[in-house]
């Protein structure tokens, strides 16, 4: 049964790649790149033949992501706990945050570009903005999950504020919080890459744009593959940390 | 004063305080008006660009609406299909999840190469953006429809269409609505991204050309306009959602 499913999935994948190969060989090479041409292009990219400065761009994108994410964690946790400690404050600002979250975030990007220019700062700002919201909202949701009676009991048994937070609040909200942190990372990554594609002079997004602009479609495919590896890799690390944190709560 | 009123008062006062402080800072000249214009300047700019911005907004909303209808139809239809046919779901699901998780921006240049400039790439890209959350949610909901209900309906001789119409569809309504709520923001986002990337019309194009022209007051005004429009759309979907769940008699 299980083997059968894996087999069917493999067949689907092979059929799709095969169809892509057949269509790609007969159609306009600027549009369709068959896998047999994409793999050599990936080789040329990885051996630094098509873009000798690939590593610098990759590292810049990585650095933008890390800075944006670090800022989003700091600001998101800060804002979340600041809004969460007081019921009235939370009830007043929570809906405002939720309403802003409903705005397609990309509308802020032109303002950020105007403000921070074409360089890394505007990408960091956009990645930060995207990552900030889910983290803040997760903290707010997590605080609501804490059973207030447990806190009362902890205080009655003489726990001070810090101990009560560490022993009661944090374990109770950790599950939600870690989920928010993972979403935040995914969105920070997307923010940086969207920012780079929409306008930049360096970074993976700018290379993708460059290859696309010159109809170097095989190189474009190869760059997309490398960027995808970066994204999937970052999410895999986040998933690992998420499981670690969940095990700690249990 | 009851709490709801107090919450509203705090909200209004905070927004007012923010606007007044921003105006004061801008007037005092602590920030460069080229980058951070005062709210009053933004309001005046809104008057100047109002007609053009509204036309752009209308065009963006139209494209988003077309993409949204496509995304809902494909997402709900595909979700019902994948949810009810187990072998198909097991075979296809990993691909759906992978495509759902993949940042769509990476395929945008390829879509542009294919479809050129104009409304089509925006609609296609926005549909791709909007369809996956709906598809994934609906697939899960159909899969998890209470098997007892299906068995009972079958035992009472329900035909296939009756089974879907009377049992499956009512059971998945809340999930479809949740997916539609997510999908609308994704569709708007998709249209705006394409218009910013390579549009010649629409709100995304208006925003990026204002940014390129360093017209900060106009840019802020246009940003506020499109933000307000999307907040109104999402909040009215939420209200509709509440209305429908009351109608279904959900306990909340």
pLDDT digits (tens, 9 = 90+) for A24-70: 787 777 777 888 888 888 888 888 888 888 889 999 999 999 999 99
What span, in angstroms and rounded, lies between the C-alpha atoms of B203 and B193? 10
Yes or no, beta carbons of A105 and B108 under 8 Å apart: no
Yes or no, beta carbons of B214 and A114 under 8 Å apart: yes
Q: Annotate A86-137 with DSSP letters as a single string.
A: SHHHHHHHHHHHHHHHTS-GGGGHHHHHHHH-SSHHHHHHHHHHHHHHHHHH
Yes or no, beta carbons of B208 and A93 under 8 Å apart: no
Statement: residue A130 has pLDDT above 90: yes
This model of the complex carries an ipTM of 0.85
Identify which has the larger pLDDT, B16 or A161. B16
If you count residue pairs, one on A and one on B, with CB atoms under 8 Å apart, how many are there? 129
Statement: residue A246 has pLDDT above 80: no
What span, in angstroms and rounded, lies between the C-alpha atoms of B54 and A86? 40
CATH architecture assignment, domain B32-248: Orthogonal Bundle (1.10)
* Residue B99: Cβ-neighbour burial (10 angstroms; 0-12, 13-18, 19+): middle
pLDDT digits (tens, 9 = 90+) for A85-105: 777 777 888 888 888 888 898
CA dihedral (B59, B129, B195, A192) positive or negative: positive
Predicted pLDDT at B252: 40
What is the DSSP-derived secondary structure letter of residue B199?
-
> B162 in contact with A at a CB cutoff of 8 Å?
no
Residue A49: CB atoms within 10 Å: 12
> Domains in chain A and their CATH numbers?
45-249 (1.10.3720.10)
Q: Are B128 and B114 in contact (CB under 8 A)?
A: no
- pTM listed for this prediction: 0.88
Residue ranges of domains in chain B: 1-31, 32-248
Predicted pLDDT at B250: 53
CA of A116: which chain B residue's CA is closest? B35
Identify which has the larger pLDDT, A160 or B57. B57
Yes or no, beta carbons of A8 and B87 under 8 Å apart: yes
What are the distances in angstroms from CA B232 to CA A114, B66, B158, B226, B239?
26, 18, 41, 10, 10
Best of A114, A117, A215 to disrupt the B interface by mutation (most B CBs within 10 Å)? A114
Predicted pLDDT at A189: 93
| CB proximity list for A5: less than 8 A, separation 6 or greater | B87, B90, B91
CA of A11: which chain B residue's CA is closest? B91
Identify which has the larger pLDDT, A214 or A124. A124
Which parts of chain B sit beneath pLDDT 50?
Answer: 251-252
Best of A2, A8, A9, A107 to disrupt the B interface by mutation (most B CBs within 10 Å)? A107
């Amino acid at each position: 049964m299980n083997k059968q499913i894996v087999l069917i999935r493999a067949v689907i994948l092979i059929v799709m790649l095969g169809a892509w190969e057949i269509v790609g060989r007969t159609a306009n090479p600027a549009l369709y790149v068959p896998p047999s041409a994409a793999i050599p292009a990936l080789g040329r990219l990885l051996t630094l033949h098509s873009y000798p400065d690939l590593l610098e761009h990759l590292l810049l994108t990585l650095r933008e992501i890390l800075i944006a994410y670090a800022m989003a964690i700091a600001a998101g946790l800060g804002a979340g706990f600041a809004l969460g400690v007081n019921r009235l404050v939370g009830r007043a600002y929570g809906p405002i945050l939720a309403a802003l979250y409903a705005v397609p975030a990309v509308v802020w990007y032109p303002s950020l570009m105007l403000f921070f220019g074409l360089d890394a700062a505007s990408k960091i700002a956009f990645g930060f903005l995207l990552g900030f919201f889910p983290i803040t909202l997760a903290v707010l949701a997590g605080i609501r999950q804490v059973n207030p009676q447990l806190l009362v009991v902890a205080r009655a048994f003489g726990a001070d504020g810090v101990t009560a937070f560490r022993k009661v609040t944090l374990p109770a909200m950790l599950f939600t919080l870690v989920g928010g942190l993972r979403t935040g990372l995914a969105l920070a990554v997307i923010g940086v890459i969207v920012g780079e594609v929409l306008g930049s002079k360096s970074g993976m997004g700018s290379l993708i744009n460059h290859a696309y602009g010159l109809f170097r479609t095989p190189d474009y495919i190869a760059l997309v593959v490398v960027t995808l590896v970066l994204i999937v890799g970052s999410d895999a690390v986040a998933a690992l940390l998420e499981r670690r944190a969940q095990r700690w709560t249990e | 004063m009851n709490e709801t009123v107090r919450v509203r008062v705090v909200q209004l006062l905070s927004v007012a305080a923010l606007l007044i402080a921003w105006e004061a800072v801008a007037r005092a000249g602590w920030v460069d008006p080229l980058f951070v214009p005062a709210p009053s300047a933004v309001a005046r700019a809104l008057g100047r660009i109002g007609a053009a911005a509204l036309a752009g907004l209308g065009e963006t909303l139209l494209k988003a609406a077309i993409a949204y209808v496509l995304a809902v139809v494909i997402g709900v239809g595909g979700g019902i299909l994948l949810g009810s046919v187990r072998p198909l779901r097991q075979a296809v699901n990993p691909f759906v999840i992978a495509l759902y998780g993949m940042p769509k921006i990476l395929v945008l240049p390829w879509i542009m190469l294919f479809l050129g400039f104009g409304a089509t790439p925006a609609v296609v890209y926005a549909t791709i953006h909007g369809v996956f959350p709906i598809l994934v949610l609906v697939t899960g909901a159909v899969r998890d429809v209470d098997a007892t209900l299906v068995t009972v309906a079958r035992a009472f001789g329900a035909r296939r269409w009756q089974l879907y119409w009377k049992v499956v569809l009512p059971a998945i309504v809340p999930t479809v609505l949740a997916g539609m709520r997510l999908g609308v923001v994704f569709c708007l986002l998709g249209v705006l991204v394409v218009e910013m990337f390579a549009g010649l019309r629409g709100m995304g194009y208006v925003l990026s050309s204002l940014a390129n022209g360093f017209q900060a007051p106009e840019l802020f005004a246009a940003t506020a306009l499109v933000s307000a429009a999307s907040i109104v759309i999402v909040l009215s979907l939420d209200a509709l959602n509440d209305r429908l769940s009351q109608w279904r008699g959900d306990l909340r």
